[in-house]
Amino acid sequence: MAEACKVKLFKMLGSIPPTAIYWMIVSGVWISYLFRLYLCWRQRRVLLNSSQIPNRLKNRMTPETFEKARLYEMDKINFSIVSKVYRLVMLTALLHYECIYKTWQLTEPLVNFSFRMTPNYPATVWNVKFGRNLCFLILAILFHHLVNLLVDLQHNFILEKKHGFNKQKLLQFQFANCAYFILTIPTFIHFTYTFASEITQTKSDVSYYSLWISLILFTLIGLRLLDHFFLVKAPYIHLYGLKVEPLRSRLHALATRVGFPFDKLSLTDVSGRTSHSSVGLYWRMESPSGMHIILDDTLIKGVDGEERGCNDDELEAIVAHQLSRWKLNHIWKGCLLNFFVVLNFALFVFGSFVLLYRHSCLYAAFGFPSRSDLPISFGVIVGVKLCMVVWSGCCYNVIRRRLRYESIAHVVDLGYGKQLKTALKTVAKDNLEFPIPDLIYSICCHQHPTLLEYITAINLAMSRRSAA
């Protein structure tokens, strides 16, 4: 039964003209980008029509700060619109002028040249196929990296610097980008080698599902290691101990109260790269009996010589919020959520690949003349793009927001509701966070609740606690 359905599906795919497949993919790309542009337009309309500070923020935000936040958000929205149009034009031109097929043609002389430079490495059919697929994938990733690099440079060194947030030097920025690109290359080598060997040597569906499982494990472990490097171990990140003794003692007492195995507290010198304050908190195992808590130093009042940052009560409330997430197992829930996303992501990618690679209609739609000698990695790239369109909805954000509301209720139970409200207002004021977002834009684009949504949730939890 399953085999008969598979044969019918393959026959149906084979009957679709390549031109129809091309326009289906292009239409899907345009619909996705137009929806994102529509969200930006909604937020821009709110910015143009907002002139009054919300009543709940009048005691913490001056009209001057409100106007600065509105202009900052307007610049970010305008930049987002321009960058999305830029990416859409680049992608459309890439598809229209058959750049994918031309890139595949370019890999042949590059691989032949590499074999001539390494005479001890035999140029077998398998080695050439693997080399061309690896070269094609690296060129595609490099192109994607360069396109995003232009956008990131404009965002960091023009937009952020205009509003006084960017303090990062160009050398630090280049090092971070180059390091991330270089560290991901082994992933692509392993992925391409495994994929090419399985596809060329076996034709069974079992091989695809074994690759599916291996990709999930490799992706989750790789992302964890990359996050650990760029958040804690990168050479441009320096840790130093918190020497403010009253605050340190209070945080020790808070950790003991929550049951957190607190062993060491450090700050990162984020103030040397940006003026943004982040309420995030990182921890890692320092010993079997304790954990190392890492805070951004931009949260500390007066760390950069300006009247920014939180006082001790607000900092204690922020740490209580983060430790509540640990207490409620939000870290593991987040890992399970990411695992579920990657699981379905990989299943969709490999399912798409199984259908696309066995039929030349997809390749013919992008200018490939024949079924022979096709890039295996191209089918995976198309599957990834299709999957990203599917996962671009708001379901992931809704789950993340629900976890945040759950941790807020726990913070209120600990007695830090009032302090957390003032802390969030302080951080929002320092970051020039505009407090009036469009509802649909916020749900689709923000993984965390907005400031007013946080305040509403805290007030609701405090009223429930007082009524109990």
Residue 258 sits in a domain of what CATH number? 3.30.2010.10
Q: Classify residue 415: in a domain, yes or no.
A: yes
Sign of CA dihedral 124, 129, 132, 138: negative
Examine the fold and report which residue of 259, 294, 309 is the final residue of a domain before the chain moves on. 309
- How far apart CA 431 and CA 270 sit, in angstroms, is 14
Q: Which domain holds residue 411?
A: 396-467
pLDDT tens-place string over residues 210-228? 666 666 666 656 555 555 5
Instruction: Decide which of 406 and 349 is more confident.
Output: 406
Q: Classify residue 463: in a domain, yes or no.
A: yes
Q: Classify residue 268: in a domain, yes or no.
A: yes
pLDDT tens-place string over residues 170-211? 887 887 777 777 766 666 666 666 665 655 555 555 555 666
The confidence score (pLDDT) of residue 456 equals 92
The confidence score (pLDDT) of residue 370 equals 63
pLDDT tens-place string over residues 355-373? 666 666 777 777 887 655 6
* Structure confidence at residue 235 as a pLDDT band (50, 70, 90): very low
**Burial per residue of 2-41, b for 16 or more beta-carbon CB atoms within 10 angstroms, e otherwise:** eeeeeeeeeeeeeeeebeebbeebeeebeebbeebeebbe
> What type of residue sits at position 54?
P
Examine the fold and report which residue of 309, 324, 345 is the final residue of a domain before the chain moves on. 309
pLDDT tens-place string over residues 128-167? 777 787 788 788 888 888 888 889 999 989 999 998 888 8
* Structure confidence at residue 232 as a pLDDT band (50, 70, 90): very low
Residue 278 has pLDDT above 80, yes or no: no
pLDDT average, residue stretch 102-110: 87
Average pLDDT score over the chain: 77
**CA 217 remoteness from chain centre:** 18
Q: Classify residue 214: in a domain, yes or no.
A: no
* Structure confidence at residue 233 as a pLDDT band (50, 70, 90): very low
Q: Classify residue 139: in a domain, yes or no.
A: no
Residue 294 has pLDDT above 90, yes or no: no
Q: Classify residue 184: in a domain, yes or no.
A: no
Identify the H or E element spanning 69.
helix 63-96
**CA 316 remoteness from chain centre:** 28
Residue 375 has pLDDT above 80, yes or no: no
The confidence score (pLDDT) of residue 341 equals 66
How many domains does the chain divide into? Answer: 2
3-state helix, strand and coil shares in percent for the chain, rounded to the nearest 5: 75, 5, 20
Segment of 111-120, 122-131, 219-228, 350-359 carrying the highest mean pLDDT:
111-120
Q: Using the 8-state DSSP alphabet, how is residue 156 labeled?
A: I
Q: Classify residue 259: in a domain, yes or no.
A: yes
Examine the fold and report which residue of 250, 285, 309 is the final residue of a domain before the chain moves on. 309
pLDDT tens-place string over residues 28-68? 889 889 999 999 999 999 999 998 999 888 888 899 999 99
Q: Classify residue 278: in a domain, yes or no.
A: yes
Q: What percent of the chain has pLDDT over 90?
A: 21
